[in-house]
Amino acid sequence: MAKISGVPVENISKIAGKEAASLNKIGTISKSNISGWPSAASCTPDRYSYGPDTGTACRGNFQFFDYDDSTGMLYVSGQCGTTLAPLGFYQWYVDNMLYYFDRVTPLRFYGPCKGGK
């Protein structure tokens, strides 16, 4: 198992503030030469209404975010693998259910959106 500064590469999510999967090299070493290096994010655009609290998320306007099915992470639209979506609550336009995103763990189910669109 490859390691960087004693940390297995599988456990590295960011280097110098950038998503590890988005990097092509570390110094002069190509990531293709590092066994176990995380692959680049692959996102699907999806619509959510965002809010820092449940009420705001349920009353907000739907906008696009990029969702990575392989990791469950949510990104700002057009910023897949680089810029995480804000911490808070998200109402998915398909089912009007609320999901919570803490920017560390995958987007997770929270509960029904009362009074959603």
**Per-residue pLDDT tens over the stretch 73-117:** 999 999 988 899 999 999 999 988 999 999 999 999 999 988 544
Q: What is the mean pLDDT of residues 35-61?
A: 86
Q: Hey, what are 29's tokens? A: 């070493």
* Contacting residues for 60 by C-beta, under 8 A, at least 6 apart: 49, 50, 51, 91
Task: Give the pLDDT score at 42.
Answer: 83
Q: What is the mean pLDDT of residues 30-51?
A: 78
Helix (H) or strand (E) holding 90: strand 88-92
* Contacting residues for 91 by C-beta, under 8 A, at least 6 apart: 48, 49, 51, 57, 58, 60, 62, 97, 98, 99, 113, 116, 117
Domain ranges across the chain: 3-33, 43-112
Which comes out higher in pLDDT, residue 61 or 32?
A: 61
d(CA 33, CA 117): 48
Q: How many CB atoms lie within 10 A of CB 5?
A: 5
Task: List pLDDT tens digits, range 58-71.
Answer: 998 999 999 998 88
